Amino acid sequence: MSVKSLEQKLAILSDAAKYDASCASSGSTKRDSRGGKSLGSNEGSGICHSYAPDGRCISLLKILMTNFCIYDCSYCINRVSSNVARARFSVHEVVKLTIEFYRRNYIEGLFLSSGVIRSPDDTMSEMVQIARKLREEEHFRGYIHLKTIPDAAPELIEQAGLLADRLSINVELPTDAAVAQYAPEKKPEQIRRAMADVRLRKDAGKDKSFTGKRPARFAPAGQSTQMIIGADGSNDAAVLGQSTRLYSSYKLKRVYYSAFSPIPDSSSKLPLIRPPLEREHRLYQADWLLRFYKFELDEITSVTQDGNLDLEVDPKLAWALANRALFPLDVNRASREMLLRVPGFGVKTVSRILSTRRHRALRYEDLTRMGASMKKAKAFITAGGWSPGALTDSIDLRSRFTPPPQQLSLL
């Protein structure tokens, strides 16, 4: 085997990393390098340094330490039974790439993942070594996200959490049965135990000691996970049910939904389809409604018969169309909870409505200036100078929001 150049390795190992959706660099501790002795800063909000033509943000150097792997997960490009080109970075190479990219303002930090080589513990300890070298030798204060190997020893997870901003462990698929089918070496209960362990360590990091001293912060930007959508037969109710359980059980910062995408040298076990991007988008919208708009899971998933989200209209609009008896709402009197349920109103719009209506009554034109999307909202509200009349209950209301029907091709 010929020795690969750094550029060739980077090509292979970034290609292998692109199926991880997360690229967040936000929500960690605030820090900077003002003293002149270190490099990097983190100011709370994330920064997307570039965007690839797939519309995804590039915030971190997202690479695999190696794409050699002893697991055989059908959906994964790096599974042992695949014939993709393999490569492996040395610890020094990853550190150098991260630092040189960071100095040129290409990235916010490093997102390091890896195939499992030799054993989970060996792989994890090498990843920890990279993070340690960045922090302790290069004095790097940027963002580090480590993908945890669920079977790795708890001590290694502890060290990883003290060095990194975020840890993540992928649940991979929405149900245990699907994991057993497509990722035979992975154990769902072990993945959950590892997530519970991260949560407990993070909780323990918040307690002050008897003398009032705070322990070192553990994974200050929290933990996240990823689920592949469309590889197994789970419906959206199952997917969202799983994510609400994960949010409540392990206090996850984010659950990422990744539409199953064709990979080079794919397994015969999974059919290659166009990735269900629209479904992925609707799941994210539903996820937001559950977390920030006080919707209940069954309110969102009971709109359709089969437990899948409506692909043509967003989940909030779908809910409002199915519950028109509650509308129109008077924006000058309705409660915050109900205003949040108006399609076209976001959290910011609602807080602007509430702060302005303390001084005066709101008119229709005010709402457009407050950032509301009136094309959607106008059928569901009344305001000064505006009443939807029969629009709210009209039969063709839905068709105003859906794409026009298309003539099927005869050929």
Q: Which of residues 85-124 bind another protein (CB under 8 A)?
A: 97, 100-101, 103-106, 118-121
- Nearer Cβ to another protein, position 17 or 164? 17
- Torsion angle, CA of 69/74/77/82, rounded to 10 degrees? 70
265 binds another protein (CB under 8 A): yes
299 binds another protein (CB under 8 A): no
The CA distance from 157 to 154, in Å, is 5
- Nearer Cβ to another protein, position 14 or 394? 14
Which range in 164-172, 210-218, 347-355, 398-406 contacts another protein by CB under 8 A? Answer: 347-355
Number of residues that bind another protein (CB under 8 A): 109
- Nearer Cβ to another protein, position 47 or 338? 47
32 binds another protein (CB under 8 A): yes
- Nearer Cβ to another protein, position 32 or 393? 32
17 binds another protein (CB under 8 A): yes
Which of 4, 26, 33, 235 binds another protein (CB under 8 A)? It is 33
Q: Kindly tell me the number of DSSP H helices and DSSP E strands found in the chain.
A: 14, 10
Tokens found for residue 86: 């393999």
CB of 314 to another protein, least distance (A): 16
Which of 76, 221, 263, 313 binds another protein (CB under 8 A)? It is 263
Cross-strand bridge partners of residue 51: 57
Residues 6+ apart with CB under 8 A from 253: 24, 27, 166, 221, 222, 223, 224
Half-sphere exposure (Cβ direction) of 43: Cα atoms closer than 13 Å: 6
CB of 120 to another protein, least distance (A): 6
Which of 27, 205, 275, 307 binds another protein (CB under 8 A)? It is 275
Decide if 130 contacts 61 (C-beta within 8 A).
Answer: no
Q: At what angle do helices 91-103 and 120-132 cross, to 10 degrees?
A: 40
165 binds another protein (CB under 8 A): no
- Nearer Cβ to another protein, position 52 or 395? 52
- Nearer Cβ to another protein, position 91 or 297? 297
CB of 396 to another protein, least distance (A): 28
Which range in 15-23, 305-313, 328-336, 403-411 contacts another protein by CB under 8 A? Answer: 15-23
Per-residue CA distances from 34 to 31, 41, 123 (Å): 9, 9, 34
Residues from 355 through 374 that contact another protein (CB under 8 A): 355-356, 358-360, 362-363, 365-367, 369-370
Residues from 35 through 94 that contact another protein (CB under 8 A): 35-41, 43, 47-58, 61-63, 68-72, 80-83
335 binds another protein (CB under 8 A): no
251 binds another protein (CB under 8 A): yes
Tokens found for residue 196: 């519970």
Residues 6+ apart with CB under 8 A from 144: 109, 110, 112, 131, 134, 135, 163, 164, 165, 166
Decide if 252 contacts 266 (C-beta within 8 A).
Answer: no
**What amino acid is encoded at 43 in this protein?**
E
DSSP reduced 3-state for 166:
strand
Residues from 370 through 399 that contact another protein (CB under 8 A): 370
The CA distance from 253 to 166, in Å, is 9
